[in-house]
Amino acid sequence: MVTLLISSVLALALIVIAIYFWQRPTTNSQMLELPPPPPEPSTLFPEFRVNQLLSPPENRAPEEAPKVTKETFEQAIHAIREYQKSPNRNTTTQLLHVAALSDNAKNYERAIELVLMSWRDGSLADLSAKDLQSLFNSEYWVLSSRTRTSGAGFVLKETLSSANRELELANNPI
């Protein structure tokens, strides 16, 4: 048994030595040299240089802000007057829709605040908190993408979020 153990250890040692000599690099081979560096350092954007200004493309049309037409303005004035006379389900819907069609985040935010004030003081008894919440959120998507992502759009989102929290508490009192 001891003979078998000693012979297997010797065989294993011979195998390890053979692998070592087989893997060892030869001494007479040449050292590998690195390739020469490129003439210019390559960058992520090779066509640009530091402090180099590029002129804007000539065929690019400037983006214009949407303009309010006379008809849209008159609709907004009419909706506000109707809402102030009698705040109800129809005038609320009309006011929020016209404010959203104006494509102005500040106007839509003011309309939300006006409707919320009327809802808080009980003038909008025919609109539930859930209906009002879905009306605010659905008319929000009438605004253009550019308006929703602007700075005023961010403030509008904050106002809409606080209105949603308030209406959610009215839907599900604690």
DSSP per-residue letters across the chain = -HHHHHHHHHHHHHHHHHHHHHHSPPTTSPPPPPPPPPSS---SSTT--TTPPPPPPTTPPPP-PPPPPHHHHHHHHHHHHHHHH--SHHHHHHHHHHHHHTT-HHHHHHHHHHHHHHHHTTS-TTS-HHHHHHHHHHHHTTS-HHHHTSHHHHHHHHHHHHHHHHHHHHHS--
Whether 86 maps to a domain, the answer reads: yes
Q: Is the pTM of this model over 0.75?
A: no
Whether 145 maps to a domain, the answer reads: yes
Top mean pLDDT of 31-40, 42-51, 55-64, 137-146 is at 137-146
What average pLDDT score do residues 45-64 get? Answer: 61
Q: Each residue of 128-155: pLDDT tens digit?
A: 899 999 999 999 999 999 999 999 999 9
Whether 1 maps to a domain, the answer reads: no
- Check residues 69 and 82 and name the one with the higher pLDDT: 82
Q: What is the pLDDT of residue 25?
A: 63
Top mean pLDDT of 30-34, 55-59, 95-99 is at 95-99
Contact in structure between 151 and 106 (CB atoms under 8 Å): no
Looking at the predicted structure, is the pLDDT value of residue 104 above 80? yes
Looking at the predicted structure, is the pLDDT value of residue 159 above 90? yes
Whether 159 maps to a domain, the answer reads: yes
Whether 115 maps to a domain, the answer reads: yes
Whether 45 maps to a domain, the answer reads: no
Whether 75 maps to a domain, the answer reads: yes
Among the ranges given (10-24, 48-62, 110-124), the one the predictor scored with the smallest mean pLDDT? 48-62
Q: How many domains does the chain have?
A: 1
Domain range spanning residue 164?
Answer: 70-171
Whether 99 maps to a domain, the answer reads: yes
